[in-house]
Every structure is written in structure tokens, then in C-alpha cells.
Structure 1
Amino acid sequence: MPLTDPDRLFPVDPRQRDLARSLYDSVADLPIISPHGHCDPRWFAENERFPNPAELFVIPDHYVFRMLVSQGVPLADLGIARNDDGAVETDPRAIWRRFAERYHLFRGTPSAMWLEHSFEHVLGLDEVPSGDNADALYDVIDEKLGQDAFRPRALFETFNIELLATTEGALDDLRWHQGIADSGWAGRVVTTYRPDAVVDPEFEGFADNVAAFGALTGEDTATWVGYLAAHRQRRAFFKTHGATATDHGHPTAHTENLSRSEAEALFGTIMSGAFTAHDAERFRGQMLTEMGRMSLDDGLTLQIHAGSRRNHSADVFAQFGRDKGFDIPGRTDYVAALKPLLDAVGMEPDLTIILFTLDETVYARELAPLAGAYPALKLGPPWWFHDSFEGIKRFREQTTETAGFYNTAGFNDDTRAFCSIPARHDVSRRSDSAYLSTLVTTGRLREADAFEVAQDLAYGLAKSAYNID
């Protein structure tokens, strides 16, 4: 018996369901464009087997381990490395068993749908994990991971990925991307410029990072002019490794549009170390505007991932570091916050700024009206916590009437869990097909147009928004 319903996420009304199925069938096999995510480029440079089931499905996936932590399983028991080099579980079978014994915790969640898609369609399994079958499933999966067909490059091709973007910091030497290029493999894996560590004054080690930034580029990053020149140089370097975008994970969407003298003075305050939280916020905001101007010059798409209250648990951050499932959504303003940036570059038709949010309350009130007016703006797809069937549905319902479809950026999976990529794109294609079928059957969209929109949402809009050839 299959793990997944072939008609999952389609409407129950027979006419709508038939149309949703037809729309989905028209896009189900399109190549995957994954223009923003966090997979490790080393996988594809070395093309070694994935070590074991725990390393593939549990340890890299904060959707998975945060649920287990919420039920009392310590991060250390799931093999998550500690900052202080303290003891953690090193037996992958034990980690997998803890996951399998608690698999029922994922019932009704997007994670269950993604996992079961992977289990069935990638690994050929016909049962979900449990305490009773944990060891048997571990052995089956582990044996498959030893086969050439399950190495990273082979899976990339099996998944029909046309382009996969990873995300690297400004100080990264991109050695693994160079390794991919040197290998002769035809798979297209590109990087994304993520400069938070040298842009956010509150990022740990910021001063040392900026000094290293200068040493790397040969620019005097103790000066405002040299600091900006270092960014331009690194952006150009990232472009040589295929970058089509930059990404900025700021706590808010605040922007500034300071004069050169004001920006230099603020930079001096930041570099002195005697800055306030308000100064740090203003500096991050100024740098978004500077990045927008640089994008006008080099063509990189500007992504703003605002509104995540990162590292909410001080203890987890101290012990395990960033990206450990404790980034929590918060209320976010966009209308006032983005005005300085939009005054500077918002009317530029050759610039693309993609806005993401974790605050669903702003979809209809702020984001759709902004994107429905400013040529530079596009709305990114529902992001972490909302990249689900219901989340995608809410996004479409609240933004389409004001912004339309063509002021959005298609779909991206934004994942560290490689096997979830086809599953997440499948959910998006099903969700959008269901929504389009509703528009057609309620007389708001012609059926022929719905088939064109389905193609664009699944494939064309992402290529356009990220300037992918």
C-alpha cells in the first residue's frame, strides 16, 4: 500500500478535483528550479555516499529535530554537535531509533508529508518508521545509500533538478563550488552571497569578521569606502561561481537611505564597538540599501528574509549555536521599514528585490500592495513554518487579488534536507493546482489561463526572478 495518497491536497469536489489533477499532471514532471536553499555543496563536489539514515533525515533537518526537542529529546541525543565539544550521541542507529519511536509526533504536519514522499518515492519504502521497524528500516535505507544510484549527484539527476542554489557567507572560499566546477559534472549547483556575518554588528565576532573581510579582499575595511569595495569584490567572486542572488537574514525589514557623510559616521560608530542596538539596526538597514544599489550594477537578485527572532533560546544558542530550530516568527513592519530602500531603488525595473516574511498578517495589508506597485519588488513564497499546503493556500488567497501571480517569485524550498527537495516542490505544485482549480470553477480564471499560470508558478517565475538563464 502506498504511503502517500495520489490525490493528496486536491479539493474534494469532483469537478475541482479533476481539474486540479489535470493541472498538477501538466507540471508534475517539470524540472526543479531550487534558487534558494542550504544544502552542502561538498556533497556534490566529493559525491561520497550519504553516511547513514540519521545523517540524511534527522541531523540536518531542523523541522525534524525541533519537533523531537519539543517532546523532551535533548539535541545532544540527536547527534547535534555542541559548541563546547561536549558529549553528543555518535551512534547513528540510536539517533534513528529515537526518531522512529516518535514518528507519530509528525502526524498532520508538513514534515510527515515530505518525509513520506521521500521514503516512498526516493527509497521505495512501503511503511513509516516506528519503534518496531526502526532497525529494519535503518538497514534497508543504509544499504540503499551504499548504491551508486543514491549518491548525491545521481539523486540530483533523479530529482530532475535543473539548478540548485546553496548559501555561503562572505568569507567562504567556495572551495566546494570550485570542486564541482573542476569535476566536469554537468549538474548546476550555484552559490548565493550571504554577508550577514560582516553586515550585522550584533553577529558574533563581527569586528574580527570585518578584519578578515579586508584581509581576504585586500581592501581597507576599516573605512566605509574600502568596506563597500570589499562587498563589490566578493559579489563579483561569487558570480564567477554562478551566484544569481544575495540573501539577508535580518531581524526586521528596516532600511535606511543615508547620505555618504551620515553613512561614514555610522560606520565609524559601528567599527568603534561603542554602538547601541539602534545603531546596529540602522547599519543593517543602510546595508540593505547599499546592496540594492550594488544589485543594480551587477544584476544579483536581492533577497530579504526578515522577521525571524533568531536563537530564541539563549541556552540552546550558547550550547549548540545557530540554526537549531529556535528561530521564532515575530511581528514585522514592511510599509514604513522599506520606504527608504524603495525611495532609493524601488522604481527600478531592472532590479529584483524578493521579500519573505514569517508574519502572515502582512500578506494582504502590506506585502501584496507593495509588490503590486513597485517594479523592483517580488513576493517570495511562504517561508519556514508556512511552506505547507495551508500556508501556500493562505498566501495565494491573500496576495493574488492585489499583487497577481506575476509579482511573486514562484517557489523555493529553502532546505538543508536534500531528499525533501522534490517533496517540497511537489507540495507546492499540488497546492497551486488546487488553488487554480478553485479560481476556474468559481469563474475567476479561464481554464486555459490556469494551465499557463501553473507552468509559471512551478518553473518560469523562479527562473525570471533569479535571472536564471
Structure 2
Amino acid sequence: MSLHPDRLFPADPGTREVARHLYAEVADLPIISPHGHVPPVWLAEDTPFVDPTSMLITPDHYITRLLHSNGVDLGDVGVGRGTLSEEASREAFRIFCRHWSVYRGTPMKLWFETQLVQVFETDLVPSERTSDNLYDVIAGWIGQESSRPRALMESFDIAFLATTDDPCDDLTHHRVLAQDPTFTRTVVPTFRPDRYLEPAAPAWNEDVDRLAGVANGSCDTYAGWVSAMENRRAYFKEHGAVSTDHSHRDLGTEPLEPAEAERLYGRARQGRASGVDGDRLRRHMVTEMVRMATEDGLTMTLHPAVHRNHHTPTYERFGPDVGGDIPMAVEVTRALAPALQRFGTDPRLTLVVFTIDETVYSRELAPLAGFYPSLRVGVPWWFIDAPEAITRFRAAVTESAGFTRTSGFIDDTRAFLSIPARHDMARRLDSGFLARLVAEHRLTEDEALETVRYLVQTQPREVFGL
């Protein structure tokens, strides 16, 4: 197996040549990763990887969900089982290799092949025949000092990495990294308060009690909850955070009258909030987060419309984040209207809206971002961070909002070793999209060169205030 140098470039020879030129301009630039899920403890403690399966297969729900859909029990590839024995790890890897054909046409195949060639330096193609040899190659790589997380930050040239963190986290691992003079890369936390904004959720009161404890205050009233959130946002910002991240089932931002907010909050604290009550209060709380963002300057990102844990038996057996989250349709224009009416032209606000519902790109998100200076359209993520979807995104958004109203590439991954492959994919696709505009005489090549540099380096720094 080898990687073709023109992978993902346009097939037309003339356009492909322009894409090559554009890509060469950005291929070796440092990686900026402003939203992802790499555990900070890996870097703080420079934790060595254990085995090929726990490193590449088990934690990657992109990989495991397709195995599950093809009849593989998640437990057989290590999900929910903790540390695997040597034989169990090998068998899980064999299962993955035996099912390699199910990834044809997916970005997972592209990312995994890139890791095999560029990280592990092997030309072995996954299959039942090669699985043990491939396992041994990767296990040997794991044993090297150069394969530990801190060394990989250097060799991958990851200049900036944001993790995703609970508001109650004491951020010890981030503090360790910030105070270590030998660590030359930047790793910061991201404030992710979802569970504290869902008053109808069964664990909400327990979560809010914990929030009150770490914020050294009381959350008996709605005003106390607001104060606790402001306290924790300030704490995160002191520890380097540049953004907050939110994922709820809709984008509603309808505000409540103060008395009604207190009434619903009181019902929720008594455990008497209905689903409708919880939605109304949550939408008000999201608007409160927008208000806080205008005051503390943290970029606010929204990832709406995901049906979490769609298959209850799988959730009960394995927990969240194992591939059972399914996209939903989302309405944007009316849902965001209250927040944008109030804050959409505030120069202090940067609001980035992502979606897995591609139908809203040209109909709602791009027109909104083409008017409101605070709003950016988040690049494709999760189910649609794939070549065709990224190309569709560029076409749908650029025609009414241009290139300046997007977010810069977001890899949104737990799979640390795939970060370079994901960013390389985005750079190649953007180069190809711009090359087509050059070929159609809609951009000069100089304009395309300036734009591709902007998308890779300037835009993410601008959006996330780096």
C-alpha cells in the first residue's frame, strides 16, 4: 500500500496542477486544532500507548460503529472492557482487519491508511492474513520513546490543541502542561457545560450541586446558577481556554422573563421539571451563555441536533460515545433569532454554529453568517467530515457568505494519531475547491494562494482568538 500524491485532488489534469501548487503552500504548516477530545492527561503525564487496539480501534467511534453495523459486538473490539489482555487485543485487531472492506469509500479508510504509511511506515494492507503482522509492526512502534504523546505533538507539528472539559474539572493536567518549560506546544481546555443546561435530565440536580461546590457558592436559585457558571468560565479562561462548546437537540435561544426563569429553575431543583419545562429553561440558559460570551470573550461554538444514545440497550451496556449518536434535522433562522437580535452585531461576540444537517448550509446558515458579524459557519464535522461533504459545504456556504465567514478546520477527534491525516485531508480538499475556481477564471491563482493560507492558519486563529 502507498499513498498517491494526488489523492483528493481534482481529476482534470489542468485543475489538478493548480491544486498541487496551492496544496504545496500549506502542506507543511503547523496544525491548529481548536476543538477536539484528546484527554489532557495523555500529554500531562506523557502516557505511553498500551497496544494497537486500545490506541486505534476501541476509542474511535467512527471505527467501532461501522463494525457494529456489520454484526460485530462492541465488546469484542474492547468497548467497555478496560485494559485487554494481549490475546484479546490481538483478536479485536483481527476482527477490525477482517472487516477492512466495510470502510471502502469512507474517510476512515483514508485516515487509517495515512496513519499506516506516514506514522507506522508500513505498506501492509489490513486483512485477515496480515492482521498479526500489522499488529506487531504497530506494537513495535508503540514501544519507542518517539511514539509517546509529547513527542508526537512535536513530530505532528501540532502548534495548538484544545481539549474538551467539564466545568467542574480542576484542570490539573492543563496546569502541569502550562508550567512545564520543556513542553513547547500549547494545550488549552474548552468549557463544555451541556449537562448543567439540561434541567429535565435525571442527573441534573446532582450535577448542579457539584457545580455549586467547585464554584464556592450556592445554586439554590437561578441567579446562583448564573454566578456559578460565570465563576467557572473565568477559571477556565485563567487556565488558557479560548472557547465554550455546546451540544443540545435544538438551537433554541428564547429568553424567559426573570420571574419565569426563577420559577422553572425552582421546579427543576425540586425535581419537578417536565420535558417542556426543561427545554424552555435550557433555551434561556443557552442565551445566558451567549450573553456571557460577549462579556468574557470566549468564542461560543454550538453543535446541535444529535439524537444521543439512539439505541438504549447499547447505551446501558457500554455508555455514551460508542457510535450510537444519530444526526437530526435542525432549524436555525427562527431558533437563533432571539440571541442574534440581542447580540448578533456585538463586536465582542464570536458564535460558531456547526451542523450535521447539510440542508441548512445554503438556506439558513450561510445567509445568516453573511449578515451577522458575530456568526461563523462551522466546517463539516462528525458524520460529514468527509471529502464529498466538505466539498459540498464549500460550494453551499461560499456562494452567499464567501470564505471569511467560516471557522477553519475542526478535527473534533479522540483519535490522536489521526489528527494530521484529518487536517491534511481538509487542506487537500480546500486546495482542490480553490483550484476549480481558478480553472473557471473566478479567482486568480494569487487570490487562491492567499485564501488557502487564510483558511489553514489565519482563520482558526482569528475565530478562536489565538
Q: 1:145 to 1:202 in 2, by over 3 A?
A: farther
Residue equivalent to 2:117: 120
Structure 1 residue aligned with 2:433: 435
1:402-425 residue CA offsets vs partner (Å, 9 max, x unmatched): 111101111010000001100000
Q: Is the 8 A contact 2:200 2:273 kept in 1?
A: no
**1:97 matched to 2:110:** no
The answer to whether the 8 Å contact 2:241/2:298 transfers is yes
Alignment size in residue pairs? 465
Paired residues of 1:252 and 1:306 also in contact (CA < 8 A): yes
C-alpha contact (below 8 Å) 1:255/1:341 kept by paired residues: yes
Comparing 429-438 with 235-244, greater Cα deviation is found at: 235-244
Structure 2 letter corresponding to 1:304: L
- The whole-number CA distance in structure 1 between the counterparts of 2:290 and 2:85 is 42
Residue aligned with 2:334, SS: coil
| Length-normalised TM-score, structure 2 | 0.97
Question: How much does 1:204 deviate?
Answer: 4.4
Tell me whether 1:266 sits opposite 2:264 in the alignment: yes
- Give the whole-Å Cα distance in 2 for the aligned partners of 1:45 and 1:203: 33
How far off is 1:345 after superposition?
0.8
Partner of 2:61: 62
Q: State the Cα deviation string for residues 202-251 of structure 1 (Å, max 9, x = none).
A: 44411101011111111111111111111111111111221100000111
Q: Given the alignment of the two structures, is residue 15 of structure 1 paired with residue 14 of structure 2, yes or no?
A: yes
1:135 aligns with 2:132: yes
Letter aligned with residue 169 of structure 2: D
Separation in structure 2 between the aligned mates of residue 454 and residue 202 of structure 1, nearest angstrom:
45
Q: Secondary structure at the match of 1:303?
A: strand
Q: Deviations over 1:427-461 (max 9, x none)?
A: 10011111001111112112111101101111111
Residue deviations 1:130-163, cap 9 Å, x none? Answer: 1111111111111111111111011111111110
Match of 1:243 in 2: 241
What's the offset of the Cα at 1:88?
A: 11
Name the amino acid aligned to 1:51: V
Residue 465 of structure 1, CA deviation: 0.4
Q: How does 1:271-310 map to 2 (within 5 A)?
A: 271-310=269-308
Q: Secondary structure at the match of 1:164?
A: strand
Letter in 1 for 2:19: A
Greater mean deviation of Cα atoms: 26-35 or 184-193? 184-193
Where do 5+ consecutive residues of structure 1 fail to align? none
Q: Classify 1:306/1:88 alpha carbon distance in 2 versus 1 (closer, same or farther; 3 Å).
A: farther
Percent identity for Structure 1 against Structure 2: 45
Letter of the 2:264 counterpart: L
Report the 3-state secondary structure (helix = DSSP H, G, I; strand = E; otherwise coil) of the residue aligned with 2:214.
helix
Q: Is the 8 A contact 2:36 2:164 kept in 1?
A: yes
Give secondary structure in 1 for the equivalent of 2:333.
Answer: coil
Residue pair 1:167, 1:192 contacting (<8 A) in 2 also:
yes
1:90 to 1:40, Cα distance in 2 relative to 1, 3 A: farther
Cα offset, 1:178, TM superposition: 2.1
What CA distance in whole angstroms lies between the structure 1 residues aligned with 2:7 and 2:326?
29
Mapped to 1, the partners of 2:417 and 2:344 lie a distance apart of 37
Check the 8 A contact 1:118/1:423 in 2, yes or no: yes
How far apart in 1 are the matches of 2:421 and 2:133? 24
Paired residue for 2:37?
A: 38
Deviation, 1:343, is: 1.5
1:91 and 1:449 map into 2 onto residues whose CA distance is: 53
Structure 2's unaligned 5+ residue stretches are none
Aligned twin of 1:174: 171
How many angstroms apart in 1 are the aligned matches of 2:318 and 2:176? 29
Render the CA deviation track for 1:63-87: whole Å, top value 9, x for unaligned: 00001000111111111116xx9x9
Aligned residue identity for 2:6 = D
Query: Which residue of structure 1 aligns with residue 73 of structure 2?
Result: 74
Deviates further, 336-345 or 259-268: 259-268
Using the alignment, how far apart are the partners of 1:322 and 1:88 within structure 2?
23
SS of the counterpart of 1:162?
strand
2:102 & 2:38 partners in 1: Cα distance?
Answer: 25
What is aligned with 1:449? 447
2-structure distance, mates of 1:216, 1:272: 21
Name the structure 2 match of 1:368. Answer: 366
Q: TM-score, normalised by structure 1?
A: 0.96
SS at match of 2:416: coil
Distance 1:129 1:46 in 2: 31
Cα deviation digits, residues 238-280 of structure 1 (max 9, x gap): 1122110000011111112223223222222222221222221
Partner Cα separation in structure 2 for residue 467 and residue 204 of structure 1: 36
Indicate conservation of the 8 Å contact 1:76/1:88, yes or no.
no
| Alignment correspondent of 2:340 | 342
Mapped to 1, the partners of 2:396 and 2:429 lie a distance apart of 15
SS for the counterpart of 1:183 is coil
Q: Indicate the RMSD between aligned Cα atoms, in angstroms.
A: 1.6
Question: CA–CA distance in 1 between the matches of 2:368 and 2:272?
Answer: 36
Give 1:43 shift: 0.7
Instruction: Give the letter aligned to residue 151 of structure 2.
Output: A
> Which residue in 2 is equivalent to 1:26?
25
Residue among 154, 157, 165 paired with 1:157: 154
Pairing partner for 2:206 from 205, 208, 218: 208
